[in-house]
Amino acid sequence: MTSTPTNEVKVQRIALIVGVILLLMKFVAYGLTNSNTILTDALESIVNVVAGAFALYSIILASKPKDEDHPYGHGKIEFISAGFEGILIILAGVLIMWKSVFNFFEPAPLHKLNIGLVLIGISTVVNYLLGVWLIQTGKKSGSFTLQADGQHLKADAYTSLAIIIGLVVIMITGIAILDSIVAIVMALFICYTGVKLMRRSLAGIMDEADSDIINDVVKLLAAHRRPSWVDMHNLRVIQYGSKLHIDCHITLPYYYTLNEVHDQMEEVSHLVNTEFGKQVEFFIHPDPCVETSCKLCILAECPVRKHAFEAAEEWNTANLTRNKKHGLDEKV
Residue 292 is predicted with a pLDDT of: 84
CA dist., res. 95 & res. 82, Å (int): 20
**Where along the chain do the CATH 3.30.70.1350 domains lie?**
211-321
Read out DSSP for 9-53? HHHHHHHHHHHHHHHHHHHHHHHHH--HHHHHHHHHHHHHHHHHH
How would residue 326 be classed by pLDDT, with cut points 50, 70 and 90?
confident
Helix-, strand-, coil-residue percentages of the chain, each rounded to 5:
65, 10, 25
What is the CATH T-level fold of the domain 211-321, as seen in this structure? Alpha-Beta Plaits (3.30.70)
Report which listed range, 58-62, 156-160, 253-257, 293-297, is most confident.
253-257
Distance (Å, whole) CA 72 – CA 149: 24
Measured distance CA(113)–CA(30) in Å, rounded: 9
pLDDT at 257: 94
**What confidence score (pLDDT) does residue 209 get?**
58
The candidate with the shortest Cα–Cα distance to 82, out of 117, 62, 54, 106, is 54
pLDDT for the residue numbered 146: 82
Residue 167 · residue 37 · CB < 8 Å: yes
Query: What average pLDDT is seen over the chain?
Result: 81
Q: Is the model more confident about 139 or about 144?
A: 139
Q: In the prediction, which pLDDT does 97 show?
A: 81
Does the pLDDT value for residue 116 go beyond 70?
A: yes
Return the C-alpha torsion angle 307, 309, 311, 313, nearest 10: 70
Bridge partner list, 249: 233, 285
User: Where does CATH 1.20.1510.10 sit in the chain?
Assistant: 5-205
User: What is the Cα–Cα distance from 331 to 166, expressed in whole angstroms?
Assistant: 61
CATH number of 5-205: 1.20.1510.10
Q: How confident is the model at residue 229 (pLDDT cuts 50, 70, 90)?
A: very high
Choose from 96-100, 102-106, 280-284 the range with maximum mean pLDDT. Answer: 280-284
Q: What are phi and psi of 313, to 5 degrees?
A: -80, 135
The C-alpha atoms of residue 131 and residue 266 are separated, in whole angstroms, by 38
More confidently predicted of 294 and 213: 294
Report d(CA 181, CA 100) in Å as an integer: 7
Q: What is the mean pLDDT of residues 58-84?
A: 72
Of residues 165 and 75, the one with the higher pLDDT is 165
